[in-house]
A and B are shown apart, each in its own frame.
Chain A
Amino acid sequence: MHDVKRRYVIPGDKIADGNFRPLMNVIKSGNALVATRIGIAETGRDGVKVIPLSGVYIPRVNDLVIGKIVDHSSLSWEVDINSCFSAHLPAQDVFGRDFSPARDDMSKHFAVGDMITARIMAFDRTRDPMLTVQDRDLGKVPRGELLKISATRVPRLIGKRGSMIQTIEQATQTRVLIGQNGIVVVTGRDPEGIKLSVRAIQMVEDEAHTANLTQRIKVLLNVPDTPQEITRAPIGNGDAKSGEIDSNMGEVEEELEVEGEK
Protein backbone atom coordinates (compact mmCIF):
# COMPACT_ATOMS: atom_id res chain seq x y z
CA MET A 1 0.00 0.00 0.00
CA HIS A 2 1.23 3.45 -0.82
CA ASP A 3 -0.05 6.86 -1.75
CA VAL A 4 -0.11 8.01 -5.33
CA LYS A 5 -0.50 11.69 -6.14
CA ARG A 6 -1.91 12.65 -9.51
CA ARG A 7 -2.29 15.85 -11.43
CA TYR A 8 -2.67 17.15 -14.96
CA VAL A 9 0.54 18.36 -16.55
CA ILE A 10 1.90 19.81 -19.79
CA PRO A 11 5.50 19.60 -21.04
CA GLY A 12 7.86 21.58 -18.82
CA ASP A 13 5.69 21.36 -15.72
CA LYS A 14 7.57 20.54 -12.56
CA ILE A 15 5.95 17.53 -10.91
CA ALA A 16 8.09 17.18 -7.81
CA ASP A 17 11.39 18.10 -6.23
CA GLY A 18 13.74 15.68 -4.65
CA ASN A 19 15.00 12.19 -4.83
CA PHE A 20 12.38 10.56 -7.02
CA ARG A 21 13.18 8.25 -9.87
CA PRO A 22 12.08 9.58 -13.28
CA LEU A 23 9.95 6.91 -14.95
CA MET A 24 8.22 7.36 -18.29
CA ASN A 25 7.84 10.82 -19.86
CA VAL A 26 9.65 12.51 -17.03
CA ILE A 27 13.13 14.03 -16.99
CA LYS A 28 15.28 15.14 -14.15
CA SER A 29 16.33 18.75 -14.38
CA GLY A 30 18.52 19.77 -11.47
CA ASN A 31 16.59 18.67 -8.44
CA ALA A 32 13.23 18.85 -10.20
CA LEU A 33 11.24 16.14 -11.97
CA VAL A 34 9.70 17.59 -15.09
CA ALA A 35 6.97 16.32 -17.41
CA THR A 36 7.78 15.99 -21.11
CA ARG A 37 4.23 15.27 -22.30
CA ILE A 38 0.64 16.34 -21.77
CA GLY A 39 -1.00 13.89 -19.45
CA ILE A 40 -1.53 12.72 -15.93
CA ALA A 41 1.47 12.87 -13.64
CA GLU A 42 1.73 10.26 -10.94
CA THR A 43 4.07 10.52 -8.02
CA GLY A 44 4.46 7.25 -6.17
CA ARG A 45 7.02 5.55 -4.02
CA ASP A 46 8.80 3.97 -7.00
CA GLY A 47 9.10 7.18 -8.95
CA VAL A 48 7.37 9.81 -11.04
CA LYS A 49 5.72 9.21 -14.40
CA VAL A 50 3.35 10.86 -16.84
CA ILE A 51 0.61 8.85 -18.50
CA PRO A 52 0.46 10.67 -21.84
CA LEU A 53 -2.78 11.73 -23.51
CA SER A 54 -1.42 12.41 -26.98
CA GLY A 55 1.24 11.15 -29.32
CA VAL A 56 1.68 8.72 -32.17
CA TYR A 57 2.26 5.05 -31.54
CA ILE A 58 5.93 4.08 -31.12
CA PRO A 59 6.39 0.36 -31.85
CA ARG A 60 7.66 -2.01 -29.16
CA VAL A 61 8.76 -5.60 -29.60
CA ASN A 62 6.00 -8.09 -28.79
CA ASP A 63 3.22 -5.54 -29.16
CA LEU A 64 0.15 -6.80 -30.90
CA VAL A 65 -0.92 -4.43 -33.64
CA ILE A 66 -3.60 -4.19 -36.28
CA GLY A 67 -2.21 -2.96 -39.56
CA LYS A 68 -3.13 -2.31 -43.17
CA ILE A 69 -1.28 -3.81 -46.11
CA VAL A 70 -0.27 -0.83 -48.23
CA ASP A 71 2.27 -2.30 -50.63
CA HIS A 72 4.42 -5.30 -51.31
CA SER A 73 7.79 -5.89 -52.88
CA SER A 74 8.93 -9.28 -54.11
CA LEU A 75 10.13 -10.20 -50.61
CA SER A 76 7.87 -8.52 -48.07
CA TRP A 77 4.63 -6.66 -47.44
CA GLU A 78 4.63 -3.09 -46.25
CA VAL A 79 2.16 -2.60 -43.42
CA ASP A 80 0.78 0.69 -42.16
CA ILE A 81 0.65 0.26 -38.39
CA ASN A 82 -0.51 3.80 -37.62
CA SER A 83 2.93 4.66 -36.35
CA CYS A 84 5.98 6.74 -37.15
CA PHE A 85 7.36 3.88 -39.24
CA SER A 86 5.73 1.43 -41.61
CA ALA A 87 6.31 -2.17 -40.68
CA HIS A 88 7.45 -5.05 -42.86
CA LEU A 89 6.07 -8.53 -42.94
CA PRO A 90 8.58 -10.82 -44.66
CA ALA A 91 7.09 -13.18 -47.22
CA GLN A 92 9.03 -16.00 -45.57
CA ASP A 93 6.98 -15.51 -42.43
CA VAL A 94 3.91 -16.60 -44.39
CA PHE A 95 5.29 -18.98 -47.02
CA GLY A 96 8.11 -20.52 -44.99
CA ARG A 97 11.78 -20.79 -45.69
CA ASP A 98 11.48 -22.13 -49.19
CA PHE A 99 9.52 -19.04 -50.30
CA SER A 100 10.13 -18.29 -53.93
CA PRO A 101 9.05 -14.95 -55.35
CA ALA A 102 8.59 -16.62 -58.73
CA ARG A 103 6.31 -19.41 -57.52
CA ASP A 104 4.40 -17.98 -54.58
CA ASP A 105 1.80 -15.31 -55.30
CA MET A 106 2.06 -12.87 -52.41
CA SER A 107 -1.00 -10.82 -53.33
CA LYS A 108 -3.15 -13.95 -53.10
CA HIS A 109 -2.28 -14.17 -49.46
CA PHE A 110 -2.49 -10.54 -48.41
CA ALA A 111 -3.58 -7.87 -50.86
CA VAL A 112 -3.22 -4.10 -50.59
CA GLY A 113 -6.08 -2.94 -48.38
CA ASP A 114 -6.23 -6.08 -46.23
CA MET A 115 -6.17 -5.66 -42.47
CA ILE A 116 -4.04 -7.98 -40.41
CA THR A 117 -3.32 -8.60 -36.77
CA ALA A 118 0.36 -9.14 -36.22
CA ARG A 119 3.00 -9.11 -33.55
CA ILE A 120 6.07 -6.89 -33.65
CA MET A 121 8.93 -9.33 -33.86
CA ALA A 122 11.85 -6.93 -34.06
CA PHE A 123 12.29 -3.19 -33.76
CA ASP A 124 15.41 -1.60 -32.42
CA ARG A 125 15.23 1.92 -33.80
CA THR A 126 17.96 1.21 -36.31
CA ARG A 127 15.56 -0.47 -38.67
CA ASP A 128 11.84 -0.52 -39.41
CA PRO A 129 9.58 -2.74 -37.32
CA MET A 130 9.36 -6.36 -38.48
CA LEU A 131 6.10 -8.25 -38.07
CA THR A 132 5.06 -11.86 -37.73
CA VAL A 133 1.65 -13.44 -38.18
CA GLN A 134 2.86 -16.85 -37.03
CA ASP A 135 0.85 -17.30 -33.88
CA ARG A 136 -2.63 -18.29 -32.88
CA ASP A 137 -5.25 -15.80 -34.02
CA LEU A 138 -2.86 -13.66 -36.00
CA GLY A 139 -3.37 -12.93 -39.69
CA LYS A 140 -6.09 -11.39 -41.81
CA VAL A 141 -9.03 -9.63 -40.15
CA PRO A 142 -11.97 -10.84 -42.23
CA ARG A 143 -14.73 -8.51 -41.04
CA GLY A 144 -15.71 -5.90 -38.53
CA GLU A 145 -16.19 -2.23 -37.85
CA LEU A 146 -12.89 -0.34 -37.93
CA LEU A 147 -12.05 2.41 -35.47
CA LYS A 148 -8.95 4.44 -34.90
CA ILE A 149 -8.28 5.77 -31.43
CA SER A 150 -5.21 7.43 -30.00
CA ALA A 151 -2.73 4.72 -29.01
CA THR A 152 -2.32 6.53 -25.70
CA ARG A 153 -5.92 5.59 -24.83
CA VAL A 154 -5.47 1.85 -25.40
CA PRO A 155 -4.64 0.99 -21.77
CA ARG A 156 -7.69 2.91 -20.63
CA LEU A 157 -9.90 1.08 -23.14
CA ILE A 158 -8.65 -2.27 -21.91
CA GLY A 159 -9.08 -1.25 -18.29
CA LYS A 160 -7.77 -2.77 -15.15
CA ARG A 161 -7.21 -6.42 -15.94
CA GLY A 162 -9.48 -6.04 -18.96
CA SER A 163 -12.40 -4.71 -16.94
CA MET A 164 -13.37 -1.86 -19.25
CA ILE A 165 -13.36 -3.74 -22.51
CA GLN A 166 -15.06 -6.70 -20.93
CA THR A 167 -17.86 -4.49 -19.65
CA ILE A 168 -18.33 -3.12 -23.16
CA GLU A 169 -18.17 -6.53 -24.85
CA GLN A 170 -20.64 -8.14 -22.49
CA ALA A 171 -23.17 -5.33 -22.53
CA THR A 172 -23.18 -4.98 -26.31
CA GLN A 173 -22.70 -8.63 -27.28
CA THR A 174 -19.71 -7.71 -29.42
CA ARG A 175 -16.11 -8.71 -29.69
CA VAL A 176 -13.55 -5.93 -29.60
CA LEU A 177 -10.13 -6.55 -31.05
CA ILE A 178 -7.65 -3.94 -29.86
CA GLY A 179 -4.28 -3.25 -31.42
CA GLN A 180 -1.71 -1.62 -29.21
CA ASN A 181 -1.36 0.91 -32.03
CA GLY A 182 -4.89 2.24 -31.52
CA ILE A 183 -6.61 0.36 -34.34
CA VAL A 184 -9.75 -1.33 -33.05
CA VAL A 185 -12.08 -3.80 -34.80
CA VAL A 186 -15.56 -4.45 -33.45
CA THR A 187 -17.51 -7.53 -34.56
CA GLY A 188 -20.87 -8.90 -33.56
CA ARG A 189 -24.15 -10.22 -34.87
CA ASP A 190 -26.36 -7.28 -33.97
CA PRO A 191 -25.69 -3.99 -35.80
CA GLU A 192 -27.21 -2.04 -32.89
CA GLY A 193 -24.82 -3.74 -30.49
CA ILE A 194 -21.90 -2.79 -32.71
CA LYS A 195 -23.09 0.82 -32.81
CA LEU A 196 -23.35 0.97 -29.04
CA SER A 197 -19.97 -0.67 -28.62
CA VAL A 198 -18.42 1.92 -30.96
CA ARG A 199 -20.06 4.73 -29.01
CA ALA A 200 -18.70 3.38 -25.75
CA ILE A 201 -15.19 3.07 -27.20
CA GLN A 202 -15.35 6.64 -28.47
CA MET A 203 -16.48 7.81 -25.06
CA VAL A 204 -13.48 6.10 -23.45
CA GLU A 205 -11.22 7.86 -25.93
CA ASP A 206 -12.76 11.28 -25.31
CA GLU A 207 -12.84 11.03 -21.54
CA ALA A 208 -9.74 8.96 -20.85
CA HIS A 209 -8.36 11.61 -18.51
CA THR A 210 -11.33 11.61 -16.15
CA ALA A 211 -12.04 9.63 -13.02
CA ASN A 212 -15.02 7.31 -12.63
CA LEU A 213 -15.10 6.54 -16.33
CA THR A 214 -16.12 2.91 -15.84
CA GLN A 215 -19.18 4.10 -13.96
CA ARG A 216 -20.21 6.41 -16.79
CA ILE A 217 -19.63 3.72 -19.40
CA LYS A 218 -21.91 1.45 -17.40
CA VAL A 219 -24.59 4.14 -17.43
CA LEU A 220 -24.22 4.50 -21.21
CA LEU A 221 -24.48 0.75 -21.66
CA ASN A 222 -27.26 0.42 -19.12
CA VAL A 223 -25.31 -2.04 -17.01
CA PRO A 224 -26.24 -2.36 -13.33
CA ASP A 225 -23.35 -1.16 -11.25
CA THR A 226 -22.68 -4.25 -9.19
CA PRO A 227 -19.15 -5.32 -8.45
CA GLN A 228 -18.55 -8.32 -10.63
CA GLU A 229 -15.99 -11.03 -10.44
CA ILE A 230 -13.57 -10.35 -13.23
CA THR A 231 -12.78 -13.54 -14.98
CA ARG A 232 -11.74 -13.38 -18.53
CA ALA A 233 -13.82 -16.05 -20.21
CA PRO A 234 -12.68 -16.96 -23.70
CA ILE A 235 -15.01 -15.21 -26.09
CA GLY A 236 -13.49 -16.19 -29.36
CA ASN A 237 -10.99 -14.47 -31.56
CA GLY A 238 -10.72 -11.13 -29.92
CA ASP A 239 -10.11 -12.43 -26.49
CA ALA A 240 -6.72 -14.00 -26.74
CA LYS A 241 -5.35 -10.83 -28.25
CA SER A 242 -6.83 -8.23 -26.01
CA GLY A 243 -5.97 -10.46 -23.10
CA GLU A 244 -2.34 -10.42 -24.00
CA ILE A 245 -2.19 -6.69 -24.48
CA ASP A 246 -3.86 -6.37 -21.15
CA SER A 247 -0.95 -8.03 -19.43
CA ASN A 248 1.48 -5.73 -21.22
CA MET A 249 -0.19 -2.51 -20.28
CA GLY A 250 -1.87 -3.42 -17.03
CA GLU A 251 0.62 -1.59 -14.90
CA VAL A 252 -0.03 1.78 -16.50
CA GLU A 253 -3.74 1.35 -16.45
CA GLU A 254 -4.15 -0.10 -13.04
CA GLU A 255 -3.36 3.04 -11.18
CA LEU A 256 -5.53 5.30 -13.28
CA GLU A 257 -8.48 2.99 -13.07
CA VAL A 258 -8.31 2.49 -9.33
CA GLU A 259 -10.33 5.56 -8.54
CA GLY A 260 -13.11 4.47 -10.83
CA GLU A 261 -13.18 0.99 -9.46
CA LYS A 262 -12.98 1.54 -5.77
Chain B
Amino acid sequence: MSASRRSPVIVEHLRKQQMWDALAKGKRLDGREFDDQRPLEIELDVIKKANGSARVKLGHSEVIAGIKVSTGEPFEGLENKGALIVSAEVLPIASPHAEPGPPDEEVIELARVVDRGVRESEMIDLEKLVLVPGKVVYTVFVDCSIVNTDGNLFDATSYAVVAALLSAKLPVLKMEGEKVVDTSETRDMPITTIPISITAARIGDHVLIDQGPEEEACMDARITITTNEEGFCAVQKGFTGSFTVEQLKKAAQSARVKGEEVRARLKELTAK
Protein backbone atom coordinates (compact mmCIF):
# COMPACT_ATOMS: atom_id res chain seq x y z
CA MET B 1 0.00 0.00 0.00
CA SER B 2 1.28 3.45 -0.81
CA ALA B 3 0.28 6.41 1.33
CA SER B 4 0.92 10.11 0.82
CA ARG B 5 3.32 11.68 3.28
CA ARG B 6 5.04 14.90 4.08
CA SER B 7 8.62 15.57 3.07
CA PRO B 8 10.90 15.12 6.09
CA VAL B 9 12.73 18.25 4.97
CA ILE B 10 10.83 21.47 5.75
CA VAL B 11 12.24 24.42 3.88
CA GLU B 12 12.07 27.68 5.79
CA HIS B 13 9.64 30.23 4.35
CA LEU B 14 12.53 32.68 4.18
CA ARG B 15 14.46 30.35 1.90
CA LYS B 16 11.36 29.44 -0.11
CA GLN B 17 10.65 33.11 -0.82
CA GLN B 18 14.27 33.65 -1.83
CA MET B 19 14.05 30.61 -4.09
CA TRP B 20 10.91 31.87 -5.79
CA ASP B 21 12.35 35.36 -6.20
CA ALA B 22 15.46 33.88 -7.78
CA LEU B 23 13.48 31.52 -10.05
CA ALA B 24 11.39 34.45 -11.28
CA LYS B 25 14.65 36.01 -12.45
CA GLY B 26 15.78 32.77 -14.09
CA LYS B 27 18.27 31.95 -11.33
CA ARG B 28 18.61 29.36 -8.60
CA LEU B 29 19.65 29.83 -4.99
CA ASP B 30 23.05 28.26 -5.56
CA GLY B 31 23.63 30.46 -8.60
CA ARG B 32 22.97 27.78 -11.20
CA GLU B 33 21.01 28.24 -14.41
CA PHE B 34 17.90 26.06 -14.80
CA ASP B 35 19.80 23.70 -17.12
CA ASP B 36 22.96 23.42 -15.02
CA GLN B 37 23.90 20.27 -13.24
CA ARG B 38 25.81 20.42 -9.97
CA PRO B 39 29.47 19.36 -10.01
CA LEU B 40 29.72 15.68 -10.92
CA GLU B 41 32.60 13.54 -9.70
CA ILE B 42 33.04 9.98 -10.88
CA GLU B 43 35.65 7.63 -9.53
CA LEU B 44 36.00 4.11 -10.93
CA ASP B 45 37.08 0.86 -9.35
CA VAL B 46 36.76 1.99 -5.73
CA ILE B 47 35.88 -1.49 -4.47
CA LYS B 48 38.54 -3.92 -5.64
CA LYS B 49 36.60 -6.92 -4.35
CA ALA B 50 33.73 -6.17 -6.71
CA ASN B 51 33.76 -7.08 -10.42
CA GLY B 52 33.18 -3.42 -11.16
CA SER B 53 32.49 -0.38 -9.04
CA ALA B 54 32.13 3.38 -9.06
CA ARG B 55 31.67 6.21 -6.63
CA VAL B 56 29.62 9.16 -7.87
CA LYS B 57 29.15 12.49 -6.23
CA LEU B 58 26.50 14.75 -7.68
CA GLY B 59 26.53 17.87 -5.58
CA HIS B 60 26.84 16.24 -2.18
CA SER B 61 24.71 13.22 -3.06
CA GLU B 62 27.11 10.31 -2.93
CA VAL B 63 26.52 6.79 -4.22
CA ILE B 64 28.76 3.74 -4.43
CA ALA B 65 27.72 1.07 -6.91
CA GLY B 66 29.34 -2.35 -6.85
CA ILE B 67 28.89 -5.28 -9.20
CA LYS B 68 28.98 -8.92 -8.24
CA VAL B 69 28.76 -11.57 -10.92
CA SER B 70 27.68 -15.13 -10.28
CA THR B 71 25.65 -17.74 -12.11
CA GLY B 72 22.10 -18.90 -11.78
CA GLU B 73 18.96 -19.80 -13.64
CA PRO B 74 17.61 -17.30 -16.17
CA PHE B 75 14.47 -15.32 -15.47
CA GLU B 76 11.26 -16.85 -16.71
CA GLY B 77 10.54 -15.82 -20.27
CA LEU B 78 14.12 -14.61 -20.72
CA GLU B 79 15.73 -18.02 -21.03
CA ASN B 80 18.42 -16.89 -23.45
CA LYS B 81 19.55 -13.86 -21.50
CA GLY B 82 21.75 -13.26 -18.54
CA ALA B 83 20.08 -11.87 -15.44
CA LEU B 84 20.64 -8.28 -14.34
CA ILE B 85 19.39 -7.00 -11.00
CA VAL B 86 19.81 -3.44 -9.75
CA SER B 87 19.13 -2.73 -6.06
CA ALA B 88 19.72 0.29 -3.86
CA GLU B 89 19.83 1.08 -0.19
CA VAL B 90 19.84 4.52 1.35
CA LEU B 91 22.23 3.73 4.18
CA PRO B 92 21.25 5.08 7.60
CA ILE B 93 24.53 7.03 7.55
CA ALA B 94 23.22 9.03 4.59
CA SER B 95 20.88 11.47 6.31
CA PRO B 96 19.21 12.16 9.65
CA HIS B 97 15.95 10.99 8.08
CA ALA B 98 17.21 7.65 6.77
CA GLU B 99 16.48 4.66 8.95
CA PRO B 100 17.93 1.19 8.92
CA GLY B 101 15.68 -1.45 7.47
CA PRO B 102 14.43 -2.79 4.17
CA PRO B 103 14.10 -0.24 1.35
CA ASP B 104 10.85 1.75 1.38
CA GLU B 105 8.76 2.53 -1.71
CA GLU B 106 10.88 5.53 -2.68
CA VAL B 107 14.09 3.52 -2.71
CA ILE B 108 12.44 0.65 -4.56
CA GLU B 109 11.19 3.12 -7.16
CA LEU B 110 14.68 4.56 -7.39
CA ALA B 111 16.28 1.17 -8.00
CA ARG B 112 13.63 0.18 -10.53
CA VAL B 113 13.94 3.42 -12.50
CA VAL B 114 17.71 3.04 -12.66
CA ASP B 115 17.28 -0.63 -13.61
CA ARG B 116 14.82 0.31 -16.35
CA GLY B 117 17.29 2.75 -17.91
CA VAL B 118 19.95 0.06 -18.15
CA ARG B 119 17.53 -2.68 -19.24
CA GLU B 120 15.46 -0.84 -21.82
CA SER B 121 18.45 0.82 -23.47
CA GLU B 122 19.91 -2.69 -23.77
CA MET B 123 23.15 -1.30 -22.44
CA ILE B 124 24.38 -4.83 -21.69
CA ASP B 125 24.00 -7.43 -24.39
CA LEU B 126 22.47 -9.98 -22.05
CA GLU B 127 22.40 -12.64 -24.75
CA LYS B 128 26.19 -12.81 -24.44
CA LEU B 129 25.81 -13.75 -20.78
CA VAL B 130 24.45 -17.24 -21.29
CA LEU B 131 26.35 -20.41 -20.38
CA VAL B 132 23.71 -23.10 -21.01
CA PRO B 133 20.66 -21.70 -22.81
CA GLY B 134 17.59 -21.91 -20.63
CA LYS B 135 19.57 -23.34 -17.72
CA VAL B 136 22.70 -21.49 -16.60
CA VAL B 137 23.33 -17.80 -17.17
CA TYR B 138 25.49 -15.08 -15.67
CA THR B 139 23.73 -13.17 -12.92
CA VAL B 140 24.88 -9.57 -12.62
CA PHE B 141 24.00 -7.94 -9.33
CA VAL B 142 24.43 -4.18 -9.24
CA ASP B 143 24.05 -2.96 -5.66
CA CYS B 144 24.06 0.71 -4.75
CA SER B 145 24.93 2.00 -1.31
CA ILE B 146 23.80 5.59 -0.93
CA VAL B 147 26.26 7.19 1.45
CA ASN B 148 24.98 10.77 1.61
CA THR B 149 21.74 12.29 0.34
CA ASP B 150 21.64 15.78 -1.14
CA GLY B 151 18.81 15.71 -3.66
CA ASN B 152 18.37 13.97 -7.02
CA LEU B 153 19.40 10.47 -6.04
CA PHE B 154 17.98 9.22 -9.35
CA ASP B 155 20.75 10.65 -11.49
CA ALA B 156 23.53 10.09 -8.95
CA THR B 157 22.55 6.42 -8.61
CA SER B 158 22.05 5.97 -12.32
CA TYR B 159 25.51 7.36 -13.15
CA ALA B 160 27.10 5.16 -10.49
CA VAL B 161 25.46 2.06 -11.95
CA VAL B 162 26.37 2.92 -15.53
CA ALA B 163 29.95 3.81 -14.61
CA ALA B 164 30.35 0.58 -12.61
CA LEU B 165 29.03 -1.47 -15.54
CA LEU B 166 31.29 0.32 -18.03
CA SER B 167 34.37 -0.43 -15.96
CA ALA B 168 33.38 -3.95 -14.91
CA LYS B 169 35.45 -6.98 -15.71
CA LEU B 170 33.37 -10.07 -16.23
CA PRO B 171 34.94 -13.30 -14.96
CA VAL B 172 35.14 -15.79 -17.83
CA LEU B 173 33.22 -18.86 -16.70
CA LYS B 174 33.10 -22.23 -18.42
CA MET B 175 30.92 -25.29 -18.08
CA GLU B 176 32.65 -28.52 -17.25
CA GLY B 177 29.84 -31.00 -17.41
CA GLU B 178 27.26 -29.76 -14.94
CA LYS B 179 29.73 -27.56 -13.07
CA VAL B 180 30.56 -23.90 -13.59
CA VAL B 181 34.30 -23.29 -13.50
CA ASP B 182 36.03 -19.94 -13.10
CA THR B 183 38.84 -19.72 -15.66
CA SER B 184 40.30 -16.79 -13.67
CA GLU B 185 40.32 -14.80 -16.88
CA THR B 186 38.20 -11.69 -17.30
CA ARG B 187 36.66 -9.80 -20.15
CA ASP B 188 34.81 -6.53 -20.60
CA MET B 189 31.07 -6.35 -20.14
CA PRO B 190 29.30 -6.64 -23.51
CA ILE B 191 28.31 -2.95 -23.67
CA THR B 192 26.17 -1.74 -26.55
CA THR B 193 25.22 1.78 -25.52
CA ILE B 194 25.43 4.27 -22.63
CA PRO B 195 22.10 5.27 -21.09
CA ILE B 196 22.10 8.55 -19.18
CA SER B 197 19.26 9.83 -17.05
CA ILE B 198 18.50 13.48 -16.48
CA THR B 199 16.02 14.41 -13.81
CA ALA B 200 14.12 17.67 -13.82
CA ALA B 201 11.92 19.18 -11.15
CA ARG B 202 9.01 21.54 -11.59
CA ILE B 203 8.68 24.29 -9.02
CA GLY B 204 5.72 26.51 -9.87
CA ASP B 205 6.06 27.32 -13.57
CA HIS B 206 9.77 26.61 -13.65
CA VAL B 207 11.41 23.39 -14.72
CA LEU B 208 15.00 22.89 -13.63
CA ILE B 209 17.36 19.97 -13.85
CA ASP B 210 19.24 18.22 -11.06
CA GLN B 211 17.29 19.52 -8.07
CA GLY B 212 19.17 20.13 -4.85
CA PRO B 213 17.71 19.10 -1.50
CA GLU B 214 15.81 22.33 -0.88
CA GLU B 215 14.48 22.37 -4.42
CA GLU B 216 13.46 18.77 -3.98
CA ALA B 217 11.52 19.65 -0.83
CA CYS B 218 9.77 22.49 -2.69
CA MET B 219 9.14 20.76 -6.01
CA ASP B 220 5.68 20.04 -7.34
CA ALA B 221 6.65 17.22 -9.67
CA ARG B 222 9.68 15.37 -10.96
CA ILE B 223 10.56 13.74 -14.25
CA THR B 224 13.44 11.36 -14.94
CA ILE B 225 14.25 10.87 -18.61
CA THR B 226 16.84 8.35 -19.78
CA THR B 227 18.36 8.66 -23.22
CA ASN B 228 21.03 6.88 -25.18
CA GLU B 229 22.93 7.96 -28.31
CA GLU B 230 19.84 7.41 -30.45
CA GLY B 231 16.90 8.61 -28.40
CA PHE B 232 14.77 7.93 -25.39
CA CYS B 233 14.68 4.67 -23.50
CA ALA B 234 12.96 5.19 -20.17
CA VAL B 235 10.91 7.81 -18.37
CA GLN B 236 9.47 8.12 -14.91
CA LYS B 237 7.27 10.92 -13.76
CA GLY B 238 7.27 11.21 -10.01
CA PHE B 239 5.90 13.16 -7.10
CA THR B 240 2.45 14.49 -6.41
CA GLY B 241 2.17 17.32 -8.93
CA SER B 242 1.77 17.32 -12.70
CA PHE B 243 3.41 18.69 -15.86
CA THR B 244 2.04 20.37 -18.96
CA VAL B 245 2.82 18.70 -22.29
CA GLU B 246 4.97 21.70 -23.23
CA GLN B 247 7.05 21.33 -20.05
CA LEU B 248 7.58 17.64 -20.73
CA LYS B 249 8.73 18.20 -24.30
CA LYS B 250 11.17 20.82 -23.13
CA ALA B 251 12.47 18.56 -20.36
CA ALA B 252 12.90 15.78 -22.91
CA GLN B 253 14.99 18.06 -25.06
CA SER B 254 17.25 19.10 -22.17
CA ALA B 255 17.58 15.45 -21.21
CA ARG B 256 19.11 14.71 -24.62
CA VAL B 257 21.43 17.72 -24.64
CA LYS B 258 22.60 17.31 -21.03
CA GLY B 259 22.64 13.54 -21.33
CA GLU B 260 25.08 13.83 -24.21
CA GLU B 261 27.47 15.85 -22.02
CA VAL B 262 27.43 13.32 -19.21
CA ARG B 263 27.80 10.46 -21.70
CA ALA B 264 30.87 12.10 -23.21
CA ARG B 265 32.42 12.35 -19.75
CA LEU B 266 31.74 8.73 -18.95
CA LYS B 267 33.13 7.61 -22.31
CA GLU B 268 36.29 9.57 -21.74
CA LEU B 269 36.66 8.25 -18.23
CA THR B 270 36.18 4.60 -19.12
CA ALA B 271 38.25 4.71 -22.30
CA LYS B 272 41.45 5.02 -20.27
Contacts and interface: CB of A to CB of B under 8 A. Distances in A.
In the complex they form, whether A and B have CB atoms below 8 Å apart is answered with: yes
B268 interface: no
Nearest to A185: B14
Task: Categorize the interface residue count of chain A.
Answer: 10 to 19
B116 interface: no
A144 B12 CA distance: 11
B10 to A, nearest CB: 5
Interface string B2-31: 000000001111111110000000000000
A141 B14 contact: yes
Interface string A81-112: 00000000000000000000000000000011
B254 to A, nearest CB: 29
B15 A68 contact: no
B10 A114 contact: no
Grouping DSSP codes into helix (H, G, I), strand (E, B) and loop, the B interface class, with mixed when no group exceeds half, is helix
A159 to B, nearest CB: 25
Nearest to B13: A113
Contact of B10 (A70, A145, A185): A70
Contacts of A141: 14
A80 B16 CA distance: 17
B15 A114 contact: no
A115 B10 contact: no
B194 to A, nearest CB: 39
A68 B15 CA distance: 12
Contacts of A80: 10
Contacts of A68: 10, 12
Contacts of A143: 14, 17
Contacts of B18: 145
B5 to A, nearest CB: 13
A58 interface: no
Interface string A163-192: 000000000000000000000010000000
A235 interface: no
Contacts of B17: 143
Nearest to A144: B14
Nearest to A112: B10
Of B11, B13, B17, most A-chain CB atoms within 10 Å = B13
A146 interface: yes
Contacts of B16: 113
Contacts of A146: 12, 14-15
A16 B14 CA distance: 48
Contacts of B15: 146
Contacts of A115: 12-14
Contacts of A144: 14
Given A113-B16, A185-B14, 10 more contacts: A70-B10, A80-B10, A112-B10, A115-B12, A115-B14, A141-B14, A145-B18, A146-B12, A146-B14, A146-B15
Pairs of residues from A and B, 6 with the lowest C-beta to C-beta distance, nearest first: A113-B13, A115-B12, A70-B10, A114-B13, A68-B12, A113-B12
21 contacts: A68-B12, A70-B10, A80-B10, A111-B13, A112-B10, A113-B10, A113-B11, A113-B12, A113-B13, A114-B12, A114-B13, A115-B12, A115-B13, A115-B14, A141-B14, A143-B14, A144-B14, A145-B18, A146-B12, A146-B15, A185-B14
